[in-house]
Amino acid sequence: MEAIVVRNAGSHFELSALPQWKPFPAVLRGKVRLVGGKSTNPVAVGDRVVYELDGPVADEQHPAVIKEILPRSNYLIRRSTNLSRECHVIASNLDRAVIVVSLYFPEIKLPFLDRILVTCEVYKVPVTIVLNKMDMYRDADPESVEAFCSIYRNAGYEVIQASAVTGEGIDRLRELCSTGVNLLSGESGVGKSSIVKALDPSLNPRTGNISETHLQGRHTTSLYEMYPLACGGFIIDTPGLRGFGLVDLEKEEIGKYFPEMLRVADECRFVPCTHTHEPGCAVKAALDRGEISHDRYNSYLGMLEEDKKFR
């Protein structure tokens, strides 16, 4: 029998035969643990799995047993820790990734966001950016709001200005998430769980406050879990991320996953081109003309430098 992993609590899981929502407990058979290779979690929320029952029905005393992980259509993966060769699959078989950010509290880190976006491009996960907490800084810092939105809309991404407090942007996000499986991810403290509750008030994921000492979010979501939305569709809430390392990317490939760089890269004099020192580089020319954001280009340079650390 087949089902979808809808909850991952480490060594215990819940499955459901989507679109039917009737979760039941499951565990891994030992040999399946080896399938993931370098991944710290061979089974991820969103995985399609084959299971068998260890009793007449699956319950806490007799959980179902996961026998096989079926091939993934796509997934989102990150390097586990700094300079670690292990990686962690965040979720799989996604129809969309929704990356939630905030300008302040916590302060946005564009290189962090750009690493997530590059990974979404690599693994063919459509992505939307949600700029949350607009109630805090729409009037206080409209220039920064406009600058951020301009950078990522010019790169080709939809940016939704939203507030879980006032409801701004929630209707548009609800429309996007009304079908398929949607991942909600971002740094700790940006308000992912509050966005989930705004999308569907019947849901009650745990939320956390910002540490005033470090202006960073406290890690409150400790597991990966899928929720059914009243509007249709499903959403995966993930633990707040504090780092996002790239996996299995050669430095010559990284530029291909910046849409605004890819649009002009064919005009470079040399192929391949690292877009750093080569004469006749169309990407650097577009950068000089203001067609490519210097912030995005600096993120790209940082990824090239990061690539060296893992070799």
Say if 242 falls within a structural domain: no
What's the CATH code of the domain at 202?
3.40.50.300
Say if 243 falls within a structural domain: no
φ, ψ for residue 39, nearest 5 deg = -70, 140
What's the CATH code of the domain at 261?
1.10.40.50
Say if 81 falls within a structural domain: yes
pTM for the structure as a whole: 0.87
* CB distance 245 to 79 below 8 Å: yes
Q: What is the largest CA-CA distance in the chain?
A: 69
Rounded to whole angstroms, how far apart are CA atoms 187 and 207? 13
Q: Are residues 146 and 128 in the same domain?
A: yes
| CA distances, 86 to each of 37, 40, 58, 179 (Å) | 9, 7, 32, 32
Domain final residue, candidates 189, 209, 237: 237
- Using the CB atoms, write b or e for 89-112: b if 16+ within 10 Å: bbbbbbbbbbbbbbbebbebebbb
Instruction: Provide the CB-side half-sphere exposure for 82 (13 A, CA).
Output: 2
Which structural domain range is residue 102 located in? 75-237
Domain count, the chain: 3
Q: Are residues 81 and 225 in the same domain?
A: yes
Q: Are residues 127 and 227 in the same domain?
A: yes
Q: Are residues 182 and 55 in the same domain?
A: no
Q: What is the pLDDT along the chain (311 residues), one digit of tens a residue?
A: 999 999 998 778 999 999 999 999 999 876 665 444 566 778 999 999 999 998 888 888 889 999 999 999 999 988 765 546 678 889 999 999 999 999 998 899 999 999 999 999 999 999 999 999 999 988 899 999 999 999 999 999 999 999 999 999 999 999 999 999 999 998 888 999 899 999 999 997 654 332 333 333 333 334 789 999 999 999 998 877 656 767 778 888 999 999 999 999 999 999 889 999 999 999 999 999 999 999 999 999 999 987 655 43
